[in-house]
C-alpha cells in the first residue's frame, strides 16, 4: 500500500479556550465549561484548571474541591460549532480529505494536497499557524503514516504541540506506549489486557492474531495490526467534494502585473492537472487574492457550458486576472477554484479525458 501522510489536529482545551477568547476576563484563569459548583459534569477545562487536576467528565463538585477558584461557564455549542466551521475552512485550503471526529479534532489525509507540498510536517505547521493567526486559538498536531499513529502523536506534546512519527520510528514508539493510551482501548479493555500481561505495545505484539480475536472479538485484529504499526483505515470525508482548488503563498509579496500573470498561469496549470483527473466538470471558475495585510478578494465567472477543455479554463482564468488588475496593493497569495460540479457521462467525459 502506498505510504500515506496523515495529520491529526486536536484543538487545545477547545470549549474553554473559546470562552476565554470571547471573554477577556477569563483569560489566564481556571475555567470549567459545564455544570456548576454543586452539580453537573465538566465538559471541558482550561489548562489553568487542569493544573489543579480538573478535567473533562469530572463531577463539578469534585472539580470545585480541587480548585476552589474555578470559574464555571455554561456551554455555548452554537458558538463552538461556528468556530469549528472556521477551523474546517482552514483545513479545506490544504485538502478535501477531512474526517471530523468531533467539533475540535479531525484527521486529514495530505498525501495529495491542494498546495502540492511533499512535507506533511510543513502543512501541519501551516494549519497551526493559520488557526493561531486567524482565530487566536491553539491546536496540537500529530503527523504520521496512518491514523492510529497520527492520533497518538497529537497527544505527545500538548499544548501547542507538533509531533512526527516517521515510518522507521513507528515500532519503537508503539513498543513503549502504555496500553491505556492506545486509541480504541477503553478502561475495561485496558484492565482485561493487564490481566493478560499486556501493558504496552511490545507486550501486545507477543500475542497471536487468534489469541487476540478469541479474547477481544473483532477488535482483536485491530489490536494485532496496530501493535505492528499497521492501520490501513482511510480518512473518511463526510462531505462530497464541491470544488477543486489550487493556491500558492509566496515568500515575497507580488505587486508587478507581469509577475502576477506569470504566477497565476502556473497555478491555473496546476488546477487543470488536478481537475482533469477528477471525473466531474464544473461551470464556475474563481480567483482569490490575499493581500499583504491579510485582506482578500474573490472574483468568479459562471459559464453556460461546463469546462471541458484546458483552453476554456485558461481563457476564463485570464479574464478573471484582468478583473483584479492593476493590483491595489502587494499580494501574498493567489488561488483558483472550479466549482459547480456535475457527474460526467458519455461524450463530455471522453472529451475531458483526451484534452490534456
Task: Give the number of other Cβ atoms within 10 Å of residue 258's Cβ.
Answer: 8
Query: Choosing from 48, 105, 247, 344, which is the catalytic residue?
Result: 105
d(C-alpha 203, C-alpha 12), whole Å: 31
Q: Which of 258, 260, 245, 242 is nearest to 335 (CA)?
A: 245
d(C-alpha 126, C-alpha 110), whole Å: 13
User: Do 106 and 150 form a contact (C-beta atoms < 8 A)?
Assistant: no
Q: Which of 306, 311, 260 is nearest to 287 (CA)?
A: 260
SS3 category, 19: helix
d(C-alpha 259, C-alpha 262), whole Å: 5
d(C-alpha 205, C-alpha 186), whole Å: 18
d(C-alpha 189, C-alpha 195), whole Å: 10
β-pair partners for 297: 289
Grid coordinates belonging to 131? 488557526
β-pair partners for 33: 44, 73
SS3 category, 275: helix
d(C-alpha 164, C-alpha 181), whole Å: 17
CA distances from 232 to 52, 114, 115, 166, 216 (A): 39, 23, 24, 16, 20
Catalytic-residue membership of 105: yes
Q: How far is CA 226 from the centre of its chain?
A: 22
User: Do 135 and 127 form a contact (C-beta atoms < 8 A)?
Assistant: no
- Residue 251 parent element (H or E): strand 243-254
Q: Which of 259, 258, 284 is nearest to 271 (CA)?
A: 284
d(C-alpha 205, C-alpha 184), whole Å: 16
Q: Which residues are catalytic?
A: 105
Amino acid at each position: 500500500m502506498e505510504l500515506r501522510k496523515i495529520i491529526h489536529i486536536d484543538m487545545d482545551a477547545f470549549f474553554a479556550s473559546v470562552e476565554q477568547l470571547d471573554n477577556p476576563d477569563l483569560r489566564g484563569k481556571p475555567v470549567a465549561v459545564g455544570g456548576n459548583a454543586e452539580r453537573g459534569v465538566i465538559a471541558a477545562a482550561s489548562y489553568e484548571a487542569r493544573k489543579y487536576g480538573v478535567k473533562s467528565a469530572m463531577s463539578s463538585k469534585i472539580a470545585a474541591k480541587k480548585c476552589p477558584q474555578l470559574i464555571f461557564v455554561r456551554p455555548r455549542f452554537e458558538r463552538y460549532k461556528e468556530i469549528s466551521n472556521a477551523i474546517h475552512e482552514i483545513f479545506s485550503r490544504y485538502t478535501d480529505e477531512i474526517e471530523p471526529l468531533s467539533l475540535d479534532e479531525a484527521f486529514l489525509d495530505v498525501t495529495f494536497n491542494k498546495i502540492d507540498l511533499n512535507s506533511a510536517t510543513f502543512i501541519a505547521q501551516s494549519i497551526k499557524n493559520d488557526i493561531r493567526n486567524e482565530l487566536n486559538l491553539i491546536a496540537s498536531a500529530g503527523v504520521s503514516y496512518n491514523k492510529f499513529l497520527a492520533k497518538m502523536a497529537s497527544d505527545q506534546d500538548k499544548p501547542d504541540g507538533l509531533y512526527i512519527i516517521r515510518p522507521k520510528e513507528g515500532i519503537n514508539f508503539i513498543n513503549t506506549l502504555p496500553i491505556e493510551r492506545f486509541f480504541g482501548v477503553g478502561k475495561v479493555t485496558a484492565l482485561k489486557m493487564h490481566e493478560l500481561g499486556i501493558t504496552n505495545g511490545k507486550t501486545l505484539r507477543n500475542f497471536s492474531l487468534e489469541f487476540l480475536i478469541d479474547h477481544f472479538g473483532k477488535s482483536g485484529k485491530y489490536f494485532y495490526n496496530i501493535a505492528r504499526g499497521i492501520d490501513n483505515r482511510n480518512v473518511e470525508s463526510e462531505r462530497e467534494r464541491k470544488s477543486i482548488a489550487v493556491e500558492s503563498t509566496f515568500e515575497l509579496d507580488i505587486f508587478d502585473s507581469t509577475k502576477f500573470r506569470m504566477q497565476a498561469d502556473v497555478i491555473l496549470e496546476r488546477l487543470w492537472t488536478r481537475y482533469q483527473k477528477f471525473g466531474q466538470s464544473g461551470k464556475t471558475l474563481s480567483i482569490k487574492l490575499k493581500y499583504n495585510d491579510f485582506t482578500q478578494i474573490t472574483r468568479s465567472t459562471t459559464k453556460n457550458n461546463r469546462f471541458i477543455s484546458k483552453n476554456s479554463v485558461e481563457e476564463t482564468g485570464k479574464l478573471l486576472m484582468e478583473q483584479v488588475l492593476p493590483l491595489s496593493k502587494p499580494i501574498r497569495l493567489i488561488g483558483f477554484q472550479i466549482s459547480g460540479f456535475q457527474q460526467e457521462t458519455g461524450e463530455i467525459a471522453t472529451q475531458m479525458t483526451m484534452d490534456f
